[in-house]
Each structure stands twice: as C-alpha cells, then as structure tokens.
Chains A and B, each alone.
Chain A
Amino acid sequence: NAGVTQTPKFQVLKTGQSMTLQCAQDMNHNSMYWYRQDPGMGLRLIYYSASEGTTDKGEVPNGYNVSRLNKREFSLRLESAAPSQTSVYFCASSSNPTRSTDTQYFGPGTRLTVL
C-alpha cells in the first residue's frame, strides 16, 4: 500500500497563476482532508470531504476550491495564487470521523512557493 500520495512535491507559481494539487489514497478511506502548514501555526484545515460526493469548508478555505473526484482522489485548486498561499500543503485521509478511534493518515506534502 502506498498510503496517501500527493503530486507535485514542489511547485513555484507567479502571483495570479492557477494550479491543482492532487491527492490519492489506497486505504479505502471515506474521508479526506487538505491542510496547510505554516511555521509556528501547526496545521490548519482548508477543506475536507467526509464522504464521496461531499465537501465542506475548514478553518481557512478562502482562495481555494476542492473536488472529491471519487473515493480515492481529492484535489485542491488555487484559482489565482497569492504570496500568502506560500505554504506546505498536506493531504490526509481517515476511515470514519464519526468513530472515536478514527485516525488521520498523511501524505508527504507539497511545498508551494508563490512569487
């Protein structure tokens, strides 16, 4: 099992450009998440998908859109990148967040720089 995979690993954008970050999981998990990691701020939830066909906003959704393409894949899109979106982006998945034992598993991350 590859677990959670993310592409690309690194990306440099100019202000105003768009891009899509891809995430896939092979653990048959129902829920998937996108976080951003900034120094001194831990991880903050951007969007999540509790199950296939549903998406919801997290703590910091502005400037982002998501698509739950199928059960395996969850993409994050930046329509018009801004320097404030320079960050490391992590995708995660979990089986069922309504269960107390639910644990999230993370991908390796995408390091994005917006100039």
Chain B
Amino acid sequence: AQSVAQPEDQVNVAEGNPLTVKCTYSVSGNPYLFWYVQYPNRGLQFLLKYITGDNLVKGSYGFEAEFNKSQTSFHLKKPSALVSDSALYFCAVRDRRGDSWGKLQFGAGTQVVVTP
C-alpha cells in the first residue's frame, strides 16, 4: 500500500528566508510524486512533479523539490519565501506495480505562514 506523510502541521518562516516543507512516502513500486498548493477558499493548484530523471525538480512560482530515494523523501523548497506563499501545501504520491497504477494518495497538508 502507498502512503505519504507530512510531519509538520505548520511551518512558520520570515519573508526572505528559505522555506522547506517536508514530505516522506512509502510505496511498493516506483514512486511518482507531486506537490500541490491551496490558497484560502480556492482549489488545489499543481506546483511540480517527479516522474523520473533529475532528483531536483523545478516548478511554478520559484518552488523546487528534491527527490531522495534512500530517505524516501520529496521535500518542497523555496530559496526566499514571500508573504504570498502563505497557503496549505499538499504532497501526493502514486506508484506503479507492473501494469497497475495506484491512485493519487495525499498527505494531510502543511500550513505555511510567511510573516513580513
């Protein structure tokens, strides 16, 4: 069975400082990993995904994520946070076992608060 964990309910960071949102996963096959962001009263917006290739994936709004197979992690990062980055962030995973695809499994979400 696949699962994904976001160990922090909330991350607080000052504007201009680096932002990291943690995500770890568990799959039985090859993992395909996604980050989504949800602004207040809005739907989820796709940020980036890891399918294969380079472990560092670049996405929208200056975000990037690093895939680490040995640590089964896919942490989201931004070098310099903005107040407008304050939102709820979701990590998600799906795996492939042979010809069978798992459904997209979401973490519980991490609230990011960026203070001026």
Interface residues of A (CB under 8 A from B): 4, 40-45, 48, 58-59, 90, 92, 97-98, 100-101, 103-109
Contacts and interface: CB of A to CB of B under 8 A. Distances in A.
A42 B90 contact: yes
Contacts of A40: 9, 108-109
Interface in B36-85: 36, 41-46, 49, 51-52
Contact of A42 (B46, B52, B107): B107
16 contacts: A40-B109, A42-B106, A42-B109, A48-B103, A90-B43, A100-B96, A101-B49, A101-B51, A103-B34, A103-B46, A105-B46, A106-B36, A106-B45, A107-B43, A109-B41, A109-B42
Interface string B5-47: 0000100000000000000000000001010100001111110
Nearest to A59: B103
Contact of A58 (B49, B52, B103): B103
B108 A41 contact: yes
A109 B101 contact: no
A4 B90 contact: no
A104 B104 contact: yes
- Most chain B CB atoms below 10 A, which of A43, A45, A90, A103: A43
Given A48-B103, A106-B45, A100 B108 contact: no
Contact of B106 (A43, A48, A100, A109): A43
Tell me which of B36, B42, B44, B46 has the highest count of chain A C-beta atoms within 10 A of its own C-beta.
B44
Contact of A103 (B42, B49, B107): B49
A98 B101 contact: yes
Contacts of B41: 109
